[in-house]
Structure 1
Amino acid sequence: MKNFKIIITCIFALILTNSITAQDNCSTFYPFEEAVTFQITNYSKNNRVAAITDFLVTDASSNFATFKSFLRDKDGEVLNEATFTMSCENDGIVVDMESLLNPQLLDNYRDFETEISGTKIVIPNNLHVGQELPDATMTMLVDMSGINLRMEVSMTDRTVVDRETITTSAGTFDCFVIGYTNTINMVMNRTTTAKQWISKGVGMVKQEDYNRRGRVTSSSLLTDFHR
C-alpha cells in the first residue's frame, strides 16, 4: 500500500509537469519534448527520504508524450519501472487512472481474469483560483477462481484553492494550489486529503498528504528538472 501511494503521487506529479517555454503542441501543463527529465523526491511524515522517482520523456509529438519512470528507495534500489503515455483532449491533458497502477500489482494477477474501468484524470490548460476540476475514478475487478477481488481508487473534490510562492532546492516558484480527496479501497478503505503546488514552467513543485486530523503523513518535492 505504501509503494502504491508513492506511485500515485509521482504519476499525478508527472501529469502536472509543464514546459518552461511555449511549445507547438496542445499542452500547457506537460512537456511534450523528448529527452526532458525530472525528479520527484518523496518524504515520510518525519521528513526522511522515502523514495525517489526519475522521469524521462522517451517519445513525443504535438498531442502525446511517452514517459519512462524509475521508482527507487532511499538506498537507490529500483522498486518499480513503468511507461506512461499521456495525450491531449478538450484543451487539456488526460490520462487513464489505470496508468496509476503498479505494473507489479497487475503481474500478480496475470493468471486471473481482470477487468478495469473508470474515468480519466483531466488537467485543464488554464487554471484559476476557485476552479473545480473533474473527479477521477478507477475500479479493478479480479476473478480469482470464484473469489472476487475489488480495488477502487478515486480522486475527488479537486479544487484550485489558492496561489502561493514555494521554495525548494530547485528554486522559487509561483504556484497554484490544488486540493483533493484521495481514496483507495482494497480490502481496507483508506481516505486522505492532499494539496499540490504546481507552477507554470515547472509543474508540481510540492505535495502534502494529510490524515483525518490534518497532520502531514507524507510529502513530495520537485528536486530536479532538465530539458
Structure 2
Amino acid sequence: MKKLLTVFTIISVFASTVYSQTCGYLLLTNNAEVEMSMFDKKGNPSGKAVYKVISSNGTEAKVLSKVFNEKGKELSGGEGTYKCDGKNFSVDMKALLPGEQAKSMNMKDMEVKSNNASIYYPTNVSVGASLPDNEFTAETYAGGMKIMSMTLRVTDRKVEGKESITTTAGTFECYKITSNQNIKAIFNMSIQVTEWFSPNIGVIKTESYRKGDLFSSTLITKISK
C-alpha cells in the first residue's frame, strides 16, 4: 500500500470585508496562493499541495487545490469552499484527504458525490479548548456505477499549547492542536494528527502518527498574494 499523506488546508492574512478584523485569512483573498510541502516518515520530500483562490467576496472563497508528487507530477486537483462568519473559519473536509486518497477521488471520467461537511477553526483560539468533531463522506461513481465509498472522521480535537514555528515562508506564533483521524474506505486506518495553527495565518505545520510512529508531515513553504 502506498504511503498516505495527510494534507491540511492552509489559511492566511487580510480579507477586505466587514469581517476584516476576524476573517483576515489569505485564502479569502482573490489570487492568493499557498504552497505546502509534504514529507515521508523519514523527513524526505514526497510532494506538495498548492492552493489558489479563484474567486472570493471576502467571507466565502472558491479555492483550487492541486497535489503533486516529489517529481512534480500532478496527482489530483479540485475545488473547495472556504468561509468565515466572524466567529469561525471553515474549510471543506475533502481538503484533509491524504494525497493518494484524493487522487482516487478525483480521477478523470469519475463523479464524486459528498456531503458538505467542514472543519472549523475559531477566530479566537485558547489553550485547553476542545474543538468540534467532524465527519466527511464521499462516494465515487464511474459510468453511473458506485465504485468506492469513503468516510473521514476527525475527533478529539484539542488545543494543547502555543509554539513558534519557522519555515521558508516566515516565523509564526502557533497554537498546537491535536486530533484523531479515522479513514474508512477499501481499508481502515487511524492516525493521530498534530497541527500548528497560526490565527489569521492558518495551518503552518502538521505531523501524522500511526501506532505511535511518525507517518508523514507537512510544512508551509511559500505564501504569495
TM-score by length of 1: 0.81
For 2:138 and 2:77, the matched residues in 1 are separated by 21
Aligned partner of 2:184 in structure 1 is 185
For 2:73 and 2:147, the matched residues in 1 are separated by 33
Residue pairs, 1:1-227, within 5 angstroms? 5-6=4-5, 8-9=6-7, 12-14=8-10, 17-19=11-13, 21=14, 23-26=16-19, 28=23, 30-31=25-26, 32-89=28-85, 91-98=87-94, 100=96, 102=102, 104-105=104-105, 107=107, 110=110, 116-117=114-115, 119-140=117-138, 150-213=149-212, 215-227=213-225
Task: Give the SS at the match of 1:180.
Answer: strand
User: How far did residue 149 of structure 1 move?
Assistant: 5.1
For 2:217 and 2:94, the matched residues in 1 are separated by 23
Which stretch of structure 1 is more off in the superposition, 30-39 or 174-183? 30-39
Q: Which runs of 5+ in 1 are unaligned?
A: none
Task: Tell me the amino acid that sits aligned with residue 191 of structure 1.
Answer: S
User: How far did residue 187 of structure 1 move?
Assistant: 2.8
Q: Which runs of 5+ in 2 are unaligned?
A: none
For 2:95 and 2:9, the matched residues in 1 are separated by 13
Task: Tell me the amino acid that sits aligned with residue 179 of structure 1.
Answer: T
Task: Tell me the amino acid that sits aligned with residue 17 of structure 2.
Answer: D
Question: Closer, same or farther in 2 for the Cα pair 1:155/1:2, shift >3 Å?
Answer: farther
Equivalenced residues, count: 217
Aligned partners of 2:76 and 2:106 also within 8 Å: no
User: How far did residue 96 of structure 1 move?
Assistant: 3.8
For 2:150 and 2:15, the matched residues in 1 are separated by 39
Question: Closer, same or farther in 2 for the Cα pair 1:58/1:132, shift >3 Å?
Answer: same
TM-score by length of 2: 0.82
Larger fraction in helix: 1
Task: Give the SS at the match of 1:13.
Answer: coil
Q: Identity over aligned residues, as a percent? A: 25
Aligned partners of 2:83 and 2:91 also within 8 Å: yes
User: How far did residue 167 of structure 1 move?
Assistant: 1.7
